[in-house]
């Protein structure tokens, strides 16, 4: 049972959060991962999520928002079901990262931080994701895809469209 | 899935178990796992620190501070609990070595954390991974759970009466959190804004307690060092630079990958032998030798050994070991712009020289790149970068200024020619792309 009545999170996530706040020497240490997991659960960090997290961590909503606005992975608006994050930082740039980004823009018909009308894909140009030796690379949600070519991107998009991609949870 | 690479010149210490299924705890134990920590419990803190001092191990995050010495700074007596923090916020462009450690040998990170804890008298360690590394965090979480199930973690570990706990933690996207004090802020549930030093973490760190914070690679090397002996590890490397390290070679090479090479190994050989040379037989133009914050080396400057001191003498840094190779087609103007765009994006804005400096350098280089530069722009960029150096709380300001200075000093003529309309290299970024995202 969740300690918060009328939680907005899934039962699994609520149970996870109940535990998360207890494992640290200081309750607030749960905040950064909790924001990210809340986003995984809801698709974004909504106002209601901010309110509930503030209650769970026992801090002000303002303090939650202050932290929320700092971290680049956290968003306050929904992304697509599959968030495509293309790295264009130096190692990827040298091996065609911009070409991959352009291809994704063209293929999906959307730009940076935009969502396709059907809500299936969103696109983001991101900074280094730690896959430099396997460049160019991207992440779709949390899954890494390395050594990309435009053709490989096409195959990946089709797989995700066909429901063979992984959900965040 | 990252490809595992291999080369005969490699000396596999840290990567010894890569590709051998060591994520499985029984396999890890079979491959000498969790022996070093039991030795450490039997021998005690002083022995551990002496072995680490003898090993010549210097911090693999990039600063190169001697690990044994760092551990010895933690006060023996402390009213507040002491902590061990493993920095796996790997975010320096060009760096993906911790990625393969978490993927292939998570228990080495756990065991190293335990040993660091024993050395300083801590009962709790944190392993912090960048938010993007979710699949690796899951591997770490499983490894930690397996270690608890075996009684290797928790109360009375290995039946010795010693207690030690580990908590794994996810970040949520921030380069700056890789800075040690910013990481502590993040772990305390705050914005990753760095703290002023002193006091240093060894005295006042996480939750105000004495804290040792080490890079994930440094920690993963610890069990190996204890098993082989400090002197034996030191001997693998060069003078005052003990052992081996993981080098990530990326960019324009035939065989990019993470290779474990002895400290002091020739940069030229790393590029031409180990990584197979410049891709497509093209000419080498430049090398960023240790992640994006390190000043660039020209093609004539690569006869240098890969250790902290030799790279320092060459006017650059060994950094995080991320070697980025640029062939003759690269426009340095564009590469400099892409580099500063990253730092401008990541600057937290807390310190004005960094916030304003990165922004104005980016704006100036964007104009130059777009063809509207004036001769004075090169001087301005240099002036801005010089005035950022040493004037910020955390090294992000320096990390942005140092490579910028390297580019404009070593390739000044290319910048001036570019402004005159004679563009070297083949630009690949359009103005739209640059203005669009960052």
Q: Residue B99 sits in which domain range? A: 25-236
Q: Are residues A71 and B98, on separate chains, in Cβ contact within 8 Å? A: no
The CB-side HSE value for B59 (13 A sphere, CA atoms) comes to 19
**Residue whose entry in the numeric block shows the structure tokens 């980025």:** B324
* B161 and B31 assigned to the same domain: yes
Whether residue B345 lies within 8 A of chain A, CB to CB, comes out as yes
Task: Give the three-class secondary structure for A34.
Answer: helix
pLDDT score, position A1: 43
* B229 and B91 assigned to the same domain: yes
**Domain presence at residue B2:** no
* B88 and B231 assigned to the same domain: yes
Q: Enumerate residues 108 to 137 of chain B having a beta carbon within 8 A of any beta carbon in chain A.
A: 124, 130-135
Task: Give the three-class secondary structure for A150.
Answer: helix
Q: What is the 3-state secondary structure (H, E, C) of chain B?
A: CCCCCCCCCCCCCCCCCCCCCCCCHHHHHHCCCCCHHHHHHHHCHHHHHHHHHHHCCECCCCCCCEHHHHHHCCCCCCCCCCEEEEEECCCCCCCCHHHHHHHHCHHHHHHHHHHHHHHHCCCEEEEEECCCCHHHHHHHHHHHHHHHHCCCCEEEECCCCEEEEEEEEECCCCHHHHCHHHHHHHHCCCCCCCCCCCCCCCCCCHHHCCEEEEEHHHHHHHHHHHHHCHHHHHHHCECCECCEEEEEEEECECCCEEEEEECCCEHHHHHHHHCCCEHHHCCEEEEEECECCCCCEEHHHCCCECCHHHHHHCCCCCCCCEEEEEECCCCHHHHHHHHHHHHHHHCCCCCHHHHHHHHHHHHHHHHHHCCCCCHHHHHHHHHHHHCCCCCCCCCHHHHHHHHHHHHHHHCHHHHHHHHCCCCCCCCCCCHHHHHHHC
The residue from B312, B327, B342 where one domain ends is B327
Q: Is residue A104 marked as binding? A: no
Find chain A residues with C-beta within 8 A of B248's C-beta: 132-133
pLDDT of residue A167 exceeding 60: no
Residue in A125, A142, A147 closest to B437 by CB: A125
- State the Cα–Cα distance between residues B170 and B91, nearest whole angstrom: 13
Q: What tens digit of pLDDT does each residue of A7-53 get?
A: 999 999 999 999 999 999 999 999 999 999 999 999 999 999 999 99
Look up the ipTM and state it: 0.96
Domain count, chain B: 3
**Domain presence at residue B8:** no
* B311 and B345 assigned to the same domain: no
pLDDT of residue B317 exceeding 80: yes
Residue in B335, B437, B438 closest to A90 by CB: B335
Backbone angles phi, psi at B193, to 5 degrees: -90, 130
Q: What tens digit of pLDDT does each residue of B96-129 get?
A: 999 999 999 999 999 999 999 999 999 999 999 9
* B79 and B205 assigned to the same domain: yes
Mean pLDDT of B362-367: 96
**% of chain B surpassing 70 pLDDT:** 98
**Domain presence at residue B13:** no
Q: Are residues B189 and A57, on separate chains, in Cβ contact within 8 Å? A: yes
**What count of other Cβ atoms lies within 10 Å of the Cβ of residue A56?**
24
Q: Are residues A131 and B170, on separate chains, in Cβ contact within 8 Å? A: no
Residues 6+ apart with CB under 8 A from B319: B62, B92, B289, B290, B291, B293, B294
**Helix count and strand count (H, E) for chain A:** 7, 5
Q: Are residues B2 and A36, on separate chains, in Cβ contact within 8 Å? A: no
**% of chain A surpassing 90 pLDDT:** 92
Q: Enumerate residues 121 to 150 of chain A having a beta carbon within 8 A of any beta carbon in chain B.
A: 125, 127-135, 139, 142-144, 146-147
pLDDT of residue A2 exceeding 60: no
CATH number at residue B275: 3.10.20.600
pLDDT of residue B434 exceeding 80: no
Helix orientation angle between B36-43 and B216-228, rounded to the nearest 10 degrees:
70
Mean pLDDT of B189-193: 96
pLDDT score, position B193: 93
In angstroms and rounded to an integer, the radius of gyration of the C-alpha atoms of chain A is 18
**Domain presence at residue B7:** no
pLDDT of residue B264 exceeding 70: yes
The full length of chain B comes to: 438
Mean pLDDT of B171-190: 97
Backbone angles phi, psi at B362, to 5 degrees: -60, -45
pLDDT band at B220 (very low <50, low <70, confident <90, very high): very high
pLDDT of residue B436 exceeding 90: no
The residue from B308, B327, B346 where one domain ends is B327
A153, A104 contact by CB (below 8 A): yes
Nearest chain B residue to A95, by CA: B251
Q: Are residues B292 and A94, on separate chains, in Cβ contact within 8 Å? A: no
DSSP class per residue in A50-107: HHHHHHHHTS-HHHHHHHHTT-TT--SS---SEEEEEE-SHHHHHTTHHHHHHHHHHH
Find chain A residues with C-beta within 8 A of B437's C-beta: 88, 112, 125
pLDDT score, position A5: 80
* B78 and B146 assigned to the same domain: yes
pLDDT of residue A168 exceeding 70: no
Task: Give the three-class secondary structure for A145.
Answer: strand
pLDDT score, position B430: 75
- State the Cα–Cα distance between residues B130 and B90, nearest whole angstrom: 7
* B211 and B68 assigned to the same domain: yes
Q: A126 has which bridge partners?
A: A87
pLDDT of residue B438 exceeding 70: no
* B292 and B355 assigned to the same domain: no
Q: What tens digit of pLDDT does each residue of B26-54 get?
A: 999 999 999 999 999 999 999 999 999 99
Q: Are residues B250 and A31, on separate chains, in Cβ contact within 8 Å? A: no
Find chain A residues with C-beta within 8 A of B171's C-beta: 32, 71
pLDDT score, position A3: 66
Q: What tens digit of pLDDT does each residue of B269-300 get?
A: 999 999 999 999 999 999 999 999 999 999 99
- State the Cα–Cα distance between residues B285 and B269, nearest whole angstrom: 16
**Domain presence at residue B16:** no
Find chain B residues with C-beta within 8 A of A29's C-beta: 169, 187-189
pLDDT of residue A169 exceeding 50: no
Nearest chain A residue to B138, by CA: A142
Token pair, residue A133, equals 């030796």
Q: Sheet of A82-87: strands edge to edge?
A: A114-115, A121-126, A82-87, A138-140, A143-145
Test mutation, B88, B96, B427, chain A, max A CBs within 10 A: B96
* Gap between the terminal Cα atoms of chain B: 28
**Domain presence at residue B49:** yes
CATH number at residue B431: 1.20.1440.230
CATH number at residue B206: 3.40.50.11540
**Domain presence at residue B3:** no
* B290 and B343 assigned to the same domain: no
**Domain presence at residue B20:** no
The residue from B198, B220, B236 where one domain ends is B236
Mean pLDDT of B379-398: 95
* B286 and B338 assigned to the same domain: no
* B294 and B252 assigned to the same domain: yes
Q: Is residue A87 marked as binding? A: yes
Classify the phi-psi angles of B329: left when phi > 0, otherwise alpha if psi is within -120 to 50, otherwise beta: alpha
Q: Are residues A23 and B131, on separate chains, in Cβ contact within 8 Å? A: no
pLDDT band at B431 (very low <50, low <70, confident <90, very high): low
A-to-B residue pairs, Cβ atoms closer than 8 angstroms: 169
Q: Enumerate residues 18 to 37 of chain A having a beta carbon within 8 A of any beta carbon in chain B.
A: 23-26, 28-33, 35-36
B391, B340 contact by CB (below 8 A): no
pLDDT score, position B247: 98
B96, B90 contact by CB (below 8 A): yes
- Chain B nearest-CA distance from A32, in A, is 6
As a whole number, the mean pLDDT across chain B is 96
- State the Cα–Cα distance between residues A107 and A124, nearest whole angstrom: 14
- Chain B nearest-CA distance from A30, in A, is 6
pLDDT of residue B435 exceeding 80: no
* B193 and B280 assigned to the same domain: no
């Amino acid at each position: 049972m969740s300690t918060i009545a009328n939680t907005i999170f899934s039962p699994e996530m609520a149970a996870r959060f109940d535990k998360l706040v207890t494992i640290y020497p200081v309750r607030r240490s749960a905040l950064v991962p909790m924001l990210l997991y809340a986003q995984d659960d809801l698709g974004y960090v909504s106002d209601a999520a901010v309110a509930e997290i503030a209650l769970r961590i026992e801090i002000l909503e303002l303090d939650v928002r202050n932290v929320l606005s700092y971290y680049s992975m956290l968003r306050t608006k929904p992304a697509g079901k599959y968030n495509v994050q293309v790295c264009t930082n130096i190692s990827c740039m040298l091996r065609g990262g911009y070409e991959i980004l352009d291809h994704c823009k063209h293929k999906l018909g959307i730009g940076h931080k935009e969502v396709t009308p059907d809500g299936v894909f969103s696109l983001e140009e991101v900074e280094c994701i730690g896959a430099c030796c396997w460049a160019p690379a991207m992440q779709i949600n949390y899954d890494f895809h390395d050594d990309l070519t435009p053709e490989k991107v096409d195959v990946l998009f089709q797989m995700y469209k066909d429901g063979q991609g992984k959900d965040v949870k | 899935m990252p490809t595992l690479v291999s080369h005969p010149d490699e000396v596999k210490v840290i990567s010894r178990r890569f590709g051998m299924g060591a994520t499985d705890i029984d396999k890890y134990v079979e491959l000498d796992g969790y022996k070093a920590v039991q030795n450490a419990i039997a021998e005690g803190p002083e022995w551990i620190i002496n072995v680490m001092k003898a090993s010549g191990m210097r911090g693999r995050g990039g600063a190169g501070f001697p690990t044994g010495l760092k551990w010895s700074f933690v006060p023996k007596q402390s009213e507040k609990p002491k902590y061990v923090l493993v920095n796996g916020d790997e975010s320096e462009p060009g760096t993906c070595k911790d990625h393969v450690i978490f993927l292939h040998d998570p228990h080495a990170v756990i065991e190293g954390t335990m040993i660091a804890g024993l050395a300083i008298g801590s009962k709790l360690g944190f392993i912090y991974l960048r938010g993007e590394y979710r699949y690796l965090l899951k591997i770490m979480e499983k490894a930690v759970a397996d270690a608890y199930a075996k009684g290797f973690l928790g109360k009375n570990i290995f039946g010795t009466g010693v207690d030690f706990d580990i908590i794994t933690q996810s970040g949520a996207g921030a380069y700056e959190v890789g800075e040690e004090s910013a990481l502590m802020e993040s772990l305390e549930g705050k914005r990753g804004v760095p703290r002023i030093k002193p006091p240093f973490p060894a005295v006042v760190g996480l939750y105000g307690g004495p804290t040792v914070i080490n890079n994930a690679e440094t920690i993963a090397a610890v069990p190996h060092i204890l098993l082989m002996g400090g002197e034996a590890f030191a001997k693998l490397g060069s003078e005052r630079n003990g052992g081996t390290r993981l080098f990530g070679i990326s960019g324009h090479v035939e065989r990019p990958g993470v290779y474990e090479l002895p400290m002091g190994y020739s940069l030229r050989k790393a590029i031409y032998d180990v990584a197979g040379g410049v891709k497509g037989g093209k000419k080498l133009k430049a090398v960023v030798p240790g992640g994006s914050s390190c000043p660039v080396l020209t093609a004539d400057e690569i006869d240098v050994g890969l250790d902290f001191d030799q790279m320092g003498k060459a006017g650059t840094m060994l950094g995080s070991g991320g070697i980025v190779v640029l062939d003759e087609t690269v426009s340095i103007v564009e590469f400099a712009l892409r580099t500063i765009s990253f730092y401008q994006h990541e600057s937290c804005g807390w310190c004005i020289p960094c916030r304003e400096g990165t922004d104005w350098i980016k704006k100036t280089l964007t104009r130059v790149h777009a063809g509207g530069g004036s001769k004075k722009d090169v001087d301005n960029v240099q002036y801005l970068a010089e005035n950022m150096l040493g004037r910020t709380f955390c090294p992000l300001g320096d990390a942005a200024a140092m490579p910028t200075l390297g580019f404009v000093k070593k390739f000044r003529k290319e910048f001036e020619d570019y402004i005159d309309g004679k563009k070297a290299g083949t630009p690949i970024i359009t103005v739209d792309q640059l203005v669009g995202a960052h």
